[in-house]
Amino acid sequence: AGLQPLKRFVEKPDAEHARDLVEDGHHLWNSGMFLLRGDRYLEELRYWRPTMHASVERAWAGRGADLDFLRPESGAFAECAAESIDYAVMEHTRAGVVVPLAAGWSDVGSYQALWDVAKKDDDGNLLRGDVIAEDTRDAWVQSQSRLVATLGISDLVVVETPDAVLVADRHRVQEVKTLVARLQSLGRQEGVAHRRAYRPWGSYECVEQGARFQVKHIRVHPGARLSLQRHHYRAEHWVVVSGTARVTRGDEVFLLGENQSAYIPLGVEHRLENPGRIELELIEVQSGAYLGEDDIVRLDDDYRRG
């Protein structure tokens, strides 16, 4: 009972080794909860993983303020190896202690763990969202944005989101990280970004995209406004769906109500804001030779973005 010296930490042993440890009865299973001081962890990281520590130091030294957030310098942060505390420090440190805990622990951090605790229907299925399952057994089928129908399947995971659709053997779904790595190697945005992007003023979601056009659903919080900006390569057309918009377009400032619209020509300074008390929703149609998010020249910004 109480604190015990950590003699050895074995992260993810193979099945045979794990069985031996459990049958021995003199080992504790790590729940993944660590209590430590930041400066002590950095000391250990500097000793065991000096390259990782150097990346952390550079990222923090180049940090920038963003409202209530401090954001590490992205380049140095990206250079840091993707290695967990378990492998980087805990398997090597000589300063660790452990505390036995009997709490009926379940690490609900995987599809299998969620499957184990979830309530299934009479056919052993876990169905969520707009789903029709016919002759389907022991399957996890989940929909977020459209109807998903299954017929004659078993032991599968089918997860539909606005970004992508995953279909996997239920017993291999933990290998999804290999698909994420594949997406990243192909330069696919699905591996790093969601379809709906959140900003300090609200959010936007890409509805449709083509070679020279893009349609977005934009939401602006009450009292919030986007930066005063202009674009080099695209024009924009805004149509208000609900709420009230205050539009700055060059020297003009005017209000738009539901079903009203405004056209923002290429190169013209403009700003969108919500002066009302309810969420502003609008459809934005972009057209032009280049539609990337980096084609934004901010002239004034409440959130101090570059």
Q: Are 201 and 288 in a shared domain?
A: yes
Cβ partners under 8 Å of residue 39, min gap 6: none
- Distance in angstroms (rounded) separating the CA atoms of residues 175 and 182: 12
φ/ψ bin of 131: left (φ > 0), alpha (ψ from -120 to 50), beta (otherwise): beta
Q: Which of 147, 176, 205 is the last residue of a domain?
A: 176
Q: Which of 98, 120, 146 is the last residue of a domain?
A: 98
Going by their DSSP bridges, the two strands 140-143 and 126-128 should be labelled as parallel
Residue 79 lies in a domain: yes
Residue 250 lies in a domain: yes
Q: Are 132 and 228 in a shared domain?
A: no
Residue 134 lies in a domain: yes
Q: Which two tokens stand for residue 293?
A: 């998010």
Q: Work out how many domains the chain is built from and give that number.
A: 3
pLDDT at 306: 63
Residue 188 lies in a domain: no
- Distance in angstroms (rounded) separating the CA atoms of residues 224 and 231: 21
Q: Which residue has the tokens 């790595």?
A: 181
CATH code of the domain containing 89: 3.90.550.10
Q: Which of 98, 121, 147 is the last residue of a domain?
A: 98
Q: Are 220 and 288 in a shared domain?
A: yes
Q: Which two tokens stand for residue 263?
A: 């056209």
Q: Are 78 and 121 in a shared domain?
A: no
- Distance in angstroms (rounded) separating the CA atoms of residues 38 and 153: 49
Q: Which two tokens stand for residue 77?
A: 């942060």
- Cα–Cα distances (Å) from 188 to 166, 184, 216, in that order, read 15, 6, 19
Does residue 143 contact residue 129 with C-beta atoms inside 8 Å? yes
- Cα–Cα distances (Å) from 164 to 141, 178, 188, in that order, read 14, 15, 11
pLDDT at 123: 96
Q: Which three-class secondary structure state does DSSP give residue 104?
A: coil
Please give the DSSP secondary-structure letter assigned to residue 218: E
Q: Are 42 and 122 in a shared domain?
A: no
Q: Are 22 and 82 in a shared domain?
A: yes
Does residue 135 contact residue 125 with C-beta atoms inside 8 Å? no
pLDDT at 67: 66
The amino acid present at 294, given as its one-letter code, is D
Residue 245 lies in a domain: yes
- Distance in angstroms (rounded) separating the CA atoms of residues 40 and 93: 11
- Distance in angstroms (rounded) separating the CA atoms of residues 67 and 70: 8
| Alpha-helical segments (H) within 123-212 | 176-185
Please give the DSSP secondary-structure letter assigned to residue 36: -
Residue 104 lies in a domain: no
The domain in which residue 86 lies consists of 4-98
Does residue 196 contact residue 162 with C-beta atoms inside 8 Å? yes
Q: Are 142 and 90 in a shared domain?
A: no
Residue 246 lies in a domain: yes
Residue 69 lies in a domain: yes
Q: Are 172 and 80 in a shared domain?
A: no
pLDDT at 64: 85
The pair phi, psi for residue 244, each rounded to 5°, is -125, 135
Q: Are 9 and 81 in a shared domain?
A: yes
Q: Indicate the pTM of the whole model.
A: 0.65
Q: Are 157 and 126 in a shared domain?
A: yes
Cβ partners under 8 Å of residue 268, min gap 6: 230, 249, 250
The pair phi, psi for residue 201, each rounded to 5°, is -90, -10
CATH code of the domain containing 217: 2.60.120.10
What are the pLDDT tens digits along the chain (306 aa)? 578 899 889 888 889 998 988 888 888 888 888 999 999 999 999 999 999 999 999 999 999 877 677 889 999 999 999 999 999 999 999 999 999 888 777 767 777 888 888 899 999 999 999 999 999 999 999 999 999 999 999 999 999 998 899 999 999 988 888 998 999 899 888 877 788 889 999 999 999 999 999 999 999 999 999 999 999 999 999 999 999 999 999 999 999 999 999 999 999 999 999 999 999 999 999 999 999 888 999 999 988 776
